[in-house]
Structure 1
Amino acid sequence: MRPETEAELADMIASASAPICVKGGGTRGVNLNGDVLETGGLSGITLYEPGSLTLVAQAGTPLAEIEAALDAEGQRLAFEPMDHRGLMGTSGAPTIGGVVAANVSGPRRVSVGACRDFMLGVRYVDGTGTIVKNGGRVMKNVTGYDLVKLMSGSWGTLGVLTEVSLKVLPKPETSACVLIDGLSDADAVQAMAKALGSPFEVSGAAHIPVGLDGHPVTMLRIEGFAGSVAYRADQIAALFGGLAVRVERDADAVAKGWRWVRDVEAFHGQSGDVWRISCTPSEAAVLAAKVGAEALLYDWGGGLIWARVTEGTDVRTRLGLLDGHATLVRGTGQAKFQPEPGPIAALSRGLRQKFDPKSILNTGLMG
């Protein structure tokens, strides 16, 4: 199934009685039983107003098309969505609907927020075939259900997105990256917290225990006007006097390094399962030690741990009780998402029953 209009999509879902697997660009490796419903026919930027920092696009619009339009106006999606293709070994083109449905957010989330925080409005078709619109084209207070944020991260289980409205931001004039070599995981987490807690506006904080040269490196990104970036980079470097600190000031090199973090390039072409662990940053090093991973990458100042483990390993059994959650990003034979506590699971079931009473949308993906 490949609808060309929202009305066609609504008719398809209204008449469906068997499970439907919603597919955007197919880059995140989600394969479910059921008839495949491709959103690629719902494509195109329907409104872009650079002066008001607002963009509206149909859900099947390739992310590259959106980023090209924004770049031409010196703007960007500030939440820095990850490209999963290298990690997952998939092809296709990421779509904006897929980004929103999975709430895909990159390293800049630690400073500006997630994809859902930039959502202004959505249009979607629920499991009964009803077309629903929520939100608008400006930020405003919400009463009742905030369906815009609810749909962001629902993975197509509550409805099939047809159109999204987003707030965009200007691109910075330049960027720099403070690099600290040789820190242990625990010391790196402390260093990232210190930098993020400083007044120098760090827009990314990551640590890789085994960098490209085989040694640990901690990365602290600064963005903005050239004079401000130069000053703030020097000030952050001074915070870590006595350590092996260097500053990368070439903006292209900085961008390349943070794409490496964003797309978890260290795991590309490497065997094993990949888990994504969201946790309290102060607990990151202890939790990572419990995982016993073959490779690790810390992002969001330690609030996100990427772990590559032996195939078939369920890291949830190793982590035990966790103030956060673990998600299987790449692997087979296990549930993708961590089971929710009883009360939350009951709430989730109630929402799915309300939005998808026939239980046909991406059935089984989220429990």
Structure 2
Amino acid sequence: MTKTSQTFRPDNEDQLRDAVAWAVSEETSVEVLGHGSKRAIGNPFEAANRIDLSGLAGVTLYEPEELVLTARAGTALDEIEALLAENGQELQFEPMDYRPLLSGTDCGRGTIGAVLATNLSGPRRLKAGAARDHVLGIRAVTGRGEIIKSGGRVVKNVTGYDLSRGLSGSWGTLAIFSEVTFKVLPRAETETTLVVSGLNDADAAHVMAMAMGSSAEVASAAHLPESVRGRFIDGSLPAGPATVLRLEGVAQSVDYRAGNLTRMFEAHSPVSTLDADMSRALWREIRDVKPFCDGTERAVWRVSVAPGAGHQLVAGLRLRAGVDAYYDWQGGLLWLRMEADPEVDLVRKGIRALGGGHATLVRASDAMRREIPVFEPADPALAALSRRLKEQFDPQFIFNPGRLAADL
């Protein structure tokens, strides 16, 4: 747990800049915090002070016709999603909610600034991308105590676009967002999910690849083995492993595409459908890792590999340890829960044996988080680049020191 001596709660950008300038002048570190919903992710670190962004809140511009929304970084994600829903719109990358997995507390789901800082996404990632693919502009304060601006408020404005994207996923270690602008999109009229039942992990990977490669415009594809299937939507999925395919759009189109996919697979496996409400509930639970939200500290890994390699990784791990798993992103994203703390580098050794990928230790005991790097260790060239970026944006290394890597 981070020890702090002062907590700053700015409610405007100038106050944020002043707080950072004070930390720079005092050569003292700060933890950057929104609602704290993702605070337990990352290497354990200590900072002398804290900057709490929850007061730096409010939507400053929303033009539904122009598909643009700007908000201060501390604005609650729930508030933004409710506003968009009133206008039939959404953040199409559907940022996940880490609360149930990490703590099960009623702390805020998170802030819009943290969404970009951690580059959140959901099961629609293959079609819609992640937060960085929807950001149009940012305002931020660097570790030099300087205000920077990148991008703009219109979709066609690409000035500084790479900086907006480049700061995404930096977990508050390079700069502190004060304001962010996102492209928003209309919410689909309806959706349905096809459930292909009874497939083993390898056959499911093949079916998902066929579905994603078809003309059906599948928005999301996941495989839920029998060990986890019953923990989704109150056990309402058909018996056996479930390979689930989401279709979105206008009702007539969804029905047509669902019929084509059903005919493609029903000769080999039972195929059923979920209505729109059940479909949305299922994909929220897939997004938020519902099966592993058990209130324990058992290690949970978020692993990215080539879609066809995921089931091979799980099979290899099960020869060495107790592993529960399911597959998102056509099998390219694995959520793994270890039933006990095995050899600490077992997961990453398995990834290397398959030719590459990366793994983040999303949940674990403090002892395990101190023993193994939470984020995938970078190769020397990338680590050197990361350090140079840190030196440019935060030369005194005052922001979240050590959260991403010990030397940052």
The TM-score by the shorter chain falls in which range?
A: over 0.9
Is 1:267 paired with 2:292? yes
CA distance in 1, matches of 2:253, 2:156: 31
Matches within 5 A, 1:281-296: 281-292=307-318, 293-296=322-325
Alpha carbons of 1:141 and 1:60: their partners in 2 closer, same or farther (altered >3 Å)? Answer: closer
Measure the CA separation in 1 of the matches of 2:374 and 2:83. 34
Which amino acid in the other structure matches residue 77 of structure 1? L
Residue pair 2:198, 2:270 contacting (<8 A) in 1 also: no
SS at match of 2:219: strand
- Match for 1:305: what amino acid? L
* SS of residue in 2 equivalent to 1:284: helix
Letter in 1 for 2:81: E
**Number of the residue aligned with 1:340:** 378
Matches of 1:32 and 1:251, distance apart in 2? 43
Aligned to 2:210: 194
Between the aligned partners of 1:143 and 1:354, the Cα distance in structure 2 is 20
2 CA distance for matches of 1:141 and 1:188? Answer: 41
Alpha-carbon distance between aligned partners in 2 of 1:199 and 1:115, rounded to the nearest angstrom: 26
**What corresponds to 2:387 in structure 1?**
349
Determine which of 339, 342, 351 is the counterpart of 1:319: 351
Residue 244 of structure 1 aligns to a residue whose secondary structure is: coil
The residue that corresponds to 2:4 in the other structure is: none
Aligned residue in 2 for 1:183: 199
Does 1:155 find its partner at 2:187? no
What is the CA–CA distance in structure 2 between the aligned matches of 1:283 and 1:55, rounded to whole Å? 38
How far the C-alpha of 1:229 sits from its partner, in A, is 0.4
What letter corresponds to residue 75 of structure 2 in structure 1? T
Aligned: 1:298 with 2:305: no
Offset from partner CA, 1:241-273 (integer Å, 9 cap, x none)? 323333324211111111110111011116411
Query: What does 1:351-366 align with in structure 2 at a 5 Å threshold?
Result: 351-366=389-404
Instruction: Using the TM superposition, give the Cα deviation of residue 15 of structure 1 relative to its aligned residue in structure 2, in angstroms.
Output: 1.6
Percent identity, please: 46
Alignment of 1:51-130 (within 5 A): 51-89=65-103, 90-93=105-108, 94-130=110-146
Distance 2:131 2:263 in 1: 33
Number of the residue aligned with 2:14 = 7
Aligned length: 367
Task: Give the match's secondary structure for 1:18.
Answer: coil
TM-score (norm: length of structure 2): 0.86
**CA displacement 1:21-49 (0-9 Å, x = unmatched):** 11111111246311221110110000000
Which residue type is aligned with residue 74 of structure 1?
Answer: G
Cα separation, 2, equivalents of 1:345 and 1:215: 44
Name the SS of the counterpart of 2:215 in structure 1. coil
CA distance in 1, matches of 2:330, 2:276: 21
Q: What is the match of residue 362 of structure 2? A: 329
Contact 1:298 1:304 in 2 (8 A): yes
Deviation at 1:288, TM superposition (A): 2.0
Q: Confirm or deny: 8 A CA contact 2:303 2:335 kept in the other structure.
A: yes
Question: What is the CA–CA distance in structure 2 between the aligned matches of 1:130 and 1:145, rounded to whole Å?
Answer: 19
Q: Is the deviation greater in 63-72 or in 22-31?
A: 22-31
CA-based RMSD of the aligned residues comes to 1.7
Which ranges of structure 1 fall in alignment gaps of 5 or more residues? none
Structure 2's unaligned 5+ residue stretches are: 1-7
| Deviation of the 1:215 alpha carbon | 2.7
Q: 1:91, 1:324 → 2: CA distance?
A: 33
1:178–1:245 CA contact under 8 A, matched in 2: no
- Over 3 Å counting, the alpha-carbon distance change for 1:355 and 1:316 in structure 2 is same
Query: C-alpha offsets along residues 148-169 of structure 1, whole Å, 9 cap, x if unaligned?
Result: 1111111001101111100011
Checking the alignment, whether the CA contact within 8 Å between 2:150 and 2:161 is kept in structure 1 is: no
Q: 2:45 aligns with which of 25, 28, 32?
A: 32
Distance 2:31 2:384 in 1: 23
Aligned-partner Cα distance in 2 for 1:144–1:118: 14
Residue 91 of structure 1 deviates from its aligned partner by 3.5
Amino acid at match of 1:63: L
SS at match of 2:174: coil
Q: Deviations over 1:59-102 (max 9, x none)?
A: 10000100010000000010011011111114311111111110
Counterpart among 307, 312, 333 of residue 336 in structure 2: 307
Say if 1:102 and 1:244 are closer, same or farther in 2 by CA, change over 3 A: same
Equivalent residues in 2 for 1:121-270, closer than 5 Å = 121-140=137-156, 142=158, 146-210=162-226, 211-212=229-230, 215-269=240-294
Residue 290 of structure 1 and its aligned partner are, at CA, apart by 2.6
Match for residue 5 of structure 2?
none
Q: What code does the residue aligned with 1:268 have? A: C
Letter in structure 1 aligned against 2:140: Y
What amino acid does structure 1 have at the position aligned with 2:78? A
Identify the match of residue 64 of structure 2 among 50, 58, 72: 50
* Counterparts of 1:298 and 1:195, CA distance in 2: 15
- The 1:101/1:252 distance shift into structure 2, 3 A limit, reads same
8 Å contact from structure 2 (residues 150, 159) kept in 1: no
Q: 1:311 Cα shift? A: 4.4
